[in-house]
Chain A
């Protein structure tokens, strides 16, 4: 037991250290010809120069946004996998990202003047619509895990088709492809302020309720005896998933694999204790997304690869590796 308790702290410290490294790298690297040393200098000693503004108003908000979105998606992933007792569940595979995207795309087309914070409302509504449907299906016990996952995938298919339909009908695909792939390139401080409260409240509530959510992770027969209480906890968890994933989609589009992958990675690193998994996910998620964004900015320099593409290209093989690891154990 003591052995287990020490490991997570060590791992968390290590990941935090890496996270700081990624943050510094993200701030010092960019398309304009600013030297890495100069950029770092400006990060700690800003002046009134345009270069300082570049570091502080373009690169830093982007790095911070990557951290927040990564944390949101990772925590949402942990919660949804717990809630549905399904290792394949994630905001992406259960259609919650797609629900938020659909609502945002529909609103952007219908009300082009909608900007910035205006997308959060629709995102929540869309995410909540799908989340509610999935939760109702999961609570009603009409379906087993497999069928539930199938329902999630089918909902995701339908919603993506609707997004495509709207874009095709309005000739708007070329404007939105970047956002649709999941991209951080439009990051600015206002977007950070937009998502920050949801990250703090959502993450905080998830941590506070970790013990209760842990109960949900037990198998169905045990959970059944807990009755009403388990349903209530499940409802709270579902709401948190909606808030965390919805706000993430609102600021940077549907980014996949973070929510699917991080819980698996963390559980492998530090076992199954809910509180530990949540805390570590809030560190590993940002680490993964921050790294992916950095990679996307470097590989096709000076152009950018959307971070959603990078997470999928890294995430798919990593997911296979996890599968392989599970088999070995």
Chain B
């Protein structure tokens, strides 16, 4: 999709949402939700929702729903960071192997699961409660945006999802307006691990957010992440703007900065290297995260507030 048609498309959504919202009739009758593993029948307005990935929690938050259960990897702090506030929910274990006993005990009326991680337990989830399966783990920006509407539809309030999306796009558009015309610099997010970096390409969530902002990701690829990249690879990618996502504590970044070759990277020469939080830039995905990424890029690269 070219950026022109995309803009036209989002404009259409905005007008549709603004025009349609006040008159939208209650959509809590029986409806069929299409998702990655087929279709699921739903009726009424689910209120006890279990979210098995971070992005779903953010989507639910945007729709004004507090999940009853979250597969939070037992890290309540991450959920706080994800939403920017504290919510009351029950942990149902890890995203990798959520505890089905606890989920069943919550007696939810909707479960939102991830295609990559939870395909194998789809049937069991389905016998606990209606389950929809979306792509979060390897989802790009467009996928995540579509998911918000799908989740809203599942909650019986599709219009609210479209409205949330429209508001989000308006906020992004306002941020993007600060970017000077004709920006040609190539931007890269590299995630620092203990001894190498993972380079996020145009197909990754962050990369597709950059693209939506009108920036050029330094690596154009259909694979989301290029992992195990050494210093030489980073030099040959030669990004003009480099965001390095780090966890607290030491990473390979400290070692690489001491190497003479580090200075051969254009971003280093132009003083366009910024350290960012790894949770926000590579673990979370969602509308709020996209806004946060856009905001931080503007603040750091363009000094815009």
Contacts and interface: CB of A to CB of B under 8 A. Distances in A.
Interface string B198-240: 1000000000000000000000000000111111110110000
A219 interface: no
A179 interface: yes
A185 B95 CA distance: 30
B96 A113 contact: no
A15 interface: no
A77 interface: no
Interface stretch (B17-25, B28-36, B250-258): B250-258
Given A116-B255, A176-B193, A58 B230 contact: yes
A58 B73 CA distance: 38
B156 to A, nearest CB: 33
B102 interface: no
B260 A304 contact: no
Contact of A178 (B95, B228, B250, B259): B228
Interface string A22-65: 00000000111100000000000000001101101111000000
Contact of A185 (B196, B248, B254, B261): B196
B64 interface: no
A300 to B, nearest CB: 11
A115 B96 contact: no
Contact of B232 (A30, A115, A174, A176): A30
Q: Contact size class for A?
A: 35 or more
A56 B252 CA distance: 19
A222 to B, nearest CB: 46
A54 B264 contact: yes
Contacts of A111: 249
B249 A185 contact: no
B contact residues, range: 20 to 34
A183 B195 CA distance: 10
A175 interface: yes
A53 B264 contact: yes
A115 B248 contact: no
Interface string B165-195: 0000000000000000000000000000111
A264 B271 CA distance: 53
A33 B228 contact: no
B194 A58 contact: no
Contacts of A320: none
Nearest to A169: B94
B236 A32 contact: yes
B76 interface: no
Contacts of A185: 195-196, 228-230
Interface string A246-282: 0000000000000000000000000000000000000
A83 B160 CA distance: 72
A325 interface: no
Interface string B245-284: 0011111101100111101100000000000000000000
Nearest to B250: A115
A168 B198 CA distance: 19
A57 to B, nearest CB: 5
B82 to A, nearest CB: 15
Contacts of A51: 264
Contacts of A53: 259-261, 263-264
B254 A115 contact: yes
B96 A171 contact: yes
B257 to A, nearest CB: 11
B250 A114 contact: yes
A178 B194 CA distance: 10
A183 B228 contact: yes
Given A113-B250, A185-B196, A304-B228, A190 B255 contact: yes
B263 A50 contact: yes
B204 to A, nearest CB: 13
B261 A57 contact: yes
A215 B115 CA distance: 60
Contacts of A114: 250
Given A50-B263, A53-B260, A302-B236, A108 B194 contact: yes
B240 to A, nearest CB: 15
Given A178-B196, A302-B233, A186 B248 contact: no
A163 to B, nearest CB: 14
Nearest to B223: A303
Contacts of A171: 73, 94-96
Interface in A95-131: 108, 111-116
Interface string A173-210: 01111110001011010100000000000000000000
B260 A176 contact: no
A306 interface: yes
A174 B227 contact: yes
B236 A303 contact: no
Contacts of B196: 178-179, 183, 185-186
A56 B22 CA distance: 67
Contacts of B260: 50, 53, 56-57
25 contacts: A31-B233, A32-B236, A50-B260, A50-B261, A53-B263, A53-B264, A54-B261, A58-B259, A111-B249, A112-B248, A112-B249, A112-B250, A114-B250, A175-B193, A177-B227, A178-B193, A179-B195, A179-B196, A183-B195, A185-B195, A185-B196, A185-B229, A186-B230, A190-B255, A304-B228
Interface of B: 73, 94-96, 193-196, 198, 226-233, 235-236, 247-252, 254-255, 258-261, 263-264
